[in-house]
Amino acid sequence: MSDDKKSIVMESEGALEKTYDDFCEELPEQDCRYGLIDLEFETDDGRPTSKIVFIAWNPDDAPIRSKMLYSGSKEALKRVLVGVGIHLNATDASELDYESSILPSVKKFA
């Protein structure tokens, strides 16, 4: 969010060689963020593929004001992300776990 809390601004951009773990490390432990990541994975039948995924990081222990601000602006952001069909919400680190949470959710759309 911008300093005046009136617009959404890009805080950082990851290089193509960065991993999903690198993405997760960039998320603050006690504040909200939005993230967009291009996940490359293998489908259940062995085909390599990728999907662009929007992740709303809204941790349980973030300040209430921040949680409300991010929750309230999420739909507006999703509307402008044309072509991004996978939207996930995470409120704690377990919901960001690649193998048990993210990958199964993304494979539903492959």
Question: What are the structural domains, with CATH classification, of the chain?
Answer: 30-107 (3.40.20.10)
Rounded Cα distance between 89 and 108, Å, is: 16
Which helix or strand (DSSP H or E) is residue 80 part of? helix 64-80
**And the tokens for 31?**
């504040």
Q: Along the 110 residues of the chain, how does pLDDT read in single tens digits? A: 888 988 889 999 988 889 999 999 999 999 999 999 999 999 999 999 999 999 999 999 999 999 999 999 999 999 999 889 899 999 999 999 999 999 999 999 88
